[in-house]
């Protein structure tokens, strides 16, 4: 039998990225957390964590984490059926892209959070890499651009996000006076969300440009728009997020009529319980 006290320690260490912070969250000493992880490894007969160069679950640890995520959700269903059991507020750990959080996500999940007392733990990941978190057992569900579900999981297409290459009018006049060109792309500073963000590369590929381009890194959706509006660079911004700035003329497209459409897929484990099912049902009726 699995000792879920030990699994809880493993999940907290991975979530916090270290033993000390995990101990603080659980109200235990770092030594006590280490002992629980060691006890789990002794019982399993193999390591559950890789300590170097960075802390990460082993394949066995990933399997245990995925199992623990599903058990947590199924236990919530048991509490609903047997209300006399002690019940904690359900917490959903979800990998999601920042652009969804800053545009439509809050409206989509507000009623479920309010009616069911759900606490969300959102892990911000680019839409191209979020599925790895689910595969590693770090999250209960994820929203990403990958249509192929992993083994034991399902996926649902929830809609598409439309991006435009936007910048300030002064920036466009300076770097793109004659519109997009290979020479302009080579010299015009872009804005990229993070090292895994491929939207800029996909846009440039539409124009046949595959080479180097200067860019700023800005892992903040709000900051991303502010940098573009300040004339610091151009970037791929969700049309929904930029609507007011486009209407006011604060932002304009460097290539009118061109952009990117990114599909979003909701991935979740098959046996995730009724809460995930209700959230999935809610997402299935979205209009992005």
Give the model confidence (pLDDT) of 220-252 as tens digits.
999 999 999 999 999 999 999 999 999 999 999
Which is higher by pLDDT, 153 or 188?
A: 188
pLDDT surpasses 80 at 84: no
pTM strictly above 0.85: no
92-139 pLDDT tens trace? 889 999 999 999 999 999 999 998 888 898 999 886 677 888 887 778
pLDDT score of 137: 74
pLDDT score of 75: 77
pLDDT score of 51: 85
CA angle 169, 172, 177 (to 5 degrees): 125
DSSP at 242: T
- Per-residue pLDDT band for 83 (boundaries 50, 70, 90) equals low
Q: Closest Cα partner for 138 from 205, 62, 239?
A: 62
Is-contact 144 129, C-beta < 8 A? yes
Q: Where are the beta strands (DSSP E) in the chain?
A: 49-50, 56-57, 91-96, 119-124, 141-144, 153-167, 190-192, 215-217, 235-238, 252-253, 260-269
Instruction: Give Dmax over CA atoms of the chain in angstroms.
Output: 70
What distance in Å separates the CA atoms of residue 180 and residue 210, rounded to the nearest whole number? 14
């Amino acid at each position: 039998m699995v000792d879920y006290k030990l699994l809880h320690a493993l999940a907290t260490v991975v979530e916090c990225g270290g033993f000390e912070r995990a101990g603080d969250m659980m109200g235990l000493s770092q030594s006590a957390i280490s002992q629980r992880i060691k006890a789990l490894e002794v019982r399993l007969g193999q390591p559950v964590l890789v300590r170097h160069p960075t802390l990460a679950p082993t394949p066995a640890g990933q399997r245990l984490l995925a199992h623990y995520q599903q058990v947590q959700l199924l236990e919530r269903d048991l509490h609903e059926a047997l209300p006399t059991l002690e019940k904690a507020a359900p917490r959903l750990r979800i990998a999601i892209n920042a652009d969804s959080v800053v545009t439509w996500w809050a409206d989509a999940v507000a009623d479920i959070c309010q009616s069911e007392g759900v606490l969300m733990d959102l892990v911000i990941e680019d839409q191209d890499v979020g599925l790895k978190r689910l595969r590693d057992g770090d999250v209960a569900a994820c929203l990403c651009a990958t249509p192929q579900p992993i083994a034991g999981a399902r996926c649902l297409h929830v809609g598409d996000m439309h991006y435009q290459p936007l910048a300030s009018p002064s920036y466009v006049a300076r770097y793109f006076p004659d519109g997009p060109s290979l020479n302009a792309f080579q010299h015009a500073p872009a804005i990229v969300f993070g090292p895994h963000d491929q939207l800029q590369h996909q846009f440039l590929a539409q124009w046949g440009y595959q080479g180097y381009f200067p860019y700023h890194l800005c892992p903040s959706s709000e900051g991303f728009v502010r940098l573009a509006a300040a004339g610091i660079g151009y970037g791929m911004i969700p049309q929904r997020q930029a609507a007011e700035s486009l209407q006011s003329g604060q932002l304009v497209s460097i290539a009118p009529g061109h952009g990117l459409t990114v599909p979003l897929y909701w991935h979740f484990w098959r046996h995730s319980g009724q809460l995930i099912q209700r959230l999935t049902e809610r997402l299935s009726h979205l209009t992005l």
